[in-house]
Amino acid sequence: MATQHEMVKLFTDQLKLCALKPHETVIVLCEDDIRADYAKAFLIAAREMGATPFQVTVPLREKRSARQTTGRTAIAGNRPVIEALKKADLVIDVMGTLFSPEQDEICAAGARMLFVREPFDVLAANFPNPDLRRRIEFGEKMLGQAKTLRIWSENGTDATFQMGGYRVMTQYGYTDTPGRWDHMGTGQVLSQAHDGMVEGTVMLMPGDTVTAFQRMIESPVKLTIEGGKVTGIDGDGMDAPLIRDYMESFRDPRAYAISHIGWGLLDSATWFHRAITRTRTEEISVNSLSYYGNVLFSLGPNTELGGKNDTMCHLDMPLRKTSLSLDGVTVIDKGRVAIPEMAV
pLDDT (tens digit per residue) in 134-148? 999 999 999 999 999
Q: What is the pLDDT of residue 262?
A: 98
Per-residue pLDDT reduced to its tens digit, 149-196:
999 999 999 999 999 999 999 999 999 999 999 999 999 999 999 999
Q: Which domain holds residue 240?
A: 127-342
One domain, residues 113 and 132: no
- Percent of the chain surpassing pLDDT 90: 86
Read off the pTM: 0.94
For 152, list phi and psi in degrees, rounded to 5: -155, 160
Tally of domains in the chain: 2
In a domain, 22, yes or no: yes
325 Rama class: left (phi>0) / alpha (psi -120 to 50) / beta: beta
Q: Pick from 117, 149, 164: which residue ends a domain?
A: 117
One domain, residues 51 and 170: no
> How many Cβ atoms are within 10 Å of 82's Cβ, its own excluded?
18
99 Rama class: left (phi>0) / alpha (psi -120 to 50) / beta: left
Nearest to 142 by CA among 302, 327, 340: 327
Average pLDDT over residues 232-242: 97
One domain, residues 311 and 170: yes
In a domain, 122, yes or no: no
CA distance 174 to 329: 29
One domain, residues 184 and 295: yes
One domain, residues 109 and 157: no
Per-residue pLDDT reduced to its tens digit, 36-79:
999 999 999 999 999 999 999 999 887 655 555 576 788 999 99
* Sign of the C-alpha dihedral computed for residues 91, 96, 102 and 104 taken in this order: positive
DSSP state of 193: P
Q: What is the pLDDT of residue 72?
A: 77
Q: What is the pLDDT of residue 69?
A: 59
pLDDT category at 286 given cuts 50, 70, 90 is confident
CA distance 211 to 246: 13
Burial tier of 147 (Cβ tally within 10 Å: 0-12, 13-18, 19+) = exposed
**pLDDT of 278 above 60:** no
Cα separation of the two ends of the chain: 31
Please give the helix or strand (H or E) that residue 106 lies within, else none. helix 101-108
Average pLDDT over residues 109-119: 96
